[in-house]
Amino acid sequence: MSSAIAAPPDLIAKYEPVIGLEVHVQLATNTKIFCGCATSFGAPPNTNVCPVCLGLPGALPVLNRRAVEMAIKAGLALNCTVNRRSQFARKNYFYPDLPKGYQISQYDLPVAEHGWVEVEVGGVKKRIGITRVHMEDDAGKSIHDGFRDSDKYTYVDLNRSGTPLIEIVTEPDIRSSDEAYAFLTELKQILQYQECSTCDMEKGHLRCDANVSVRLKGAEKFGTKAEVKNVNSFRFVKLALDYEIERQVAVVDGGGRILQETRLFNPDTGETVGMRSKESAHDYRYFPEPDLVPLRISEEWMDEIRQDMPELPQARRARYMADFGLREYDAGVLTATRATSDFFEAVSKAAGDPRAAANWVMGDLMGALKAENKEIAESPVSAQNLGELIALIGKGEISGKLAKEIFAKMLSTGEAPRAIMEREGLKQISDSGALEKIVDQVIASNPKQLEQYRGGKTTVLAFFVGQVMKATRGQANPAAVNELLKAKLG
Partner 1 sequence: MKITDKEVRYVAALANLTLTEDEIGRMVHDLDEILTHIDKLNELDTSAVEPMAQVLYDADETATLRADVEQPSLTNEAAVANAVKSGAGYYKVPLVIER
Per CB under 8 A, residues contacting partner 1 are: 29-31, 35-38, 44-51, 54, 62-68, 87, 92, 94-96, 142-144, 147, 149, 151-158, 275-276, 278, 280-281, 283, 285, 288, 290, 292-301
CB closer to partner 1 out of 227 and 364: 227
Q: How far is 159 from 139, CA to CA, in rounded Å?
A: 9
Cβ of residue 195: shortest distance to partner 1, in angstroms? 13
CB closer to partner 1 out of 106 and 177: 106
Task: Please name every residue paired with 112 in a beta bridge, in sequence order, or none if there are none.
Answer: 82, 133
* Three-state secondary-structure class, residue 151: coil
Cβ of residue 53: shortest distance to partner 1, in angstroms? 9
Q: How far is 1 from 265, CA to CA, in rounded Å?
A: 12
Task: Please name every residue paired with 166 in a beta bridge, in sequence order, or none if there are none.
Answer: 25, 135
CB closer to partner 1 out of 66 and 175: 66
CB closer to partner 1 out of 219 and 293: 293
Cβ of residue 97: shortest distance to partner 1, in angstroms? 9
Half-sphere exposure of 73 (CA within 13 A, CB side): 25
Q: How far is 46 from 118, CA to CA, in rounded Å?
A: 41
Cβ of residue 85: shortest distance to partner 1, in angstroms? 9
Q: How far is 271 from 134, CA to CA, in rounded Å?
A: 30
| CA distance readout (Å), 185 to 77, 161, 181, 268 | 14, 27, 6, 23
Cβ of residue 87: shortest distance to partner 1, in angstroms? 6
Go through 289-306 and write b for each residue having 16 or more CB atoms within 10 A of its CB, e for each that does not. beebeebebeeeeeeebe
CB closer to partner 1 out of 153 and 222: 153
Cβ of residue 165: shortest distance to partner 1, in angstroms? 15
CB closer to partner 1 out of 290 and 490: 290
Instruction: Say if residues 33 and 162 touch (Cβ distance below 8 Å).
Output: yes
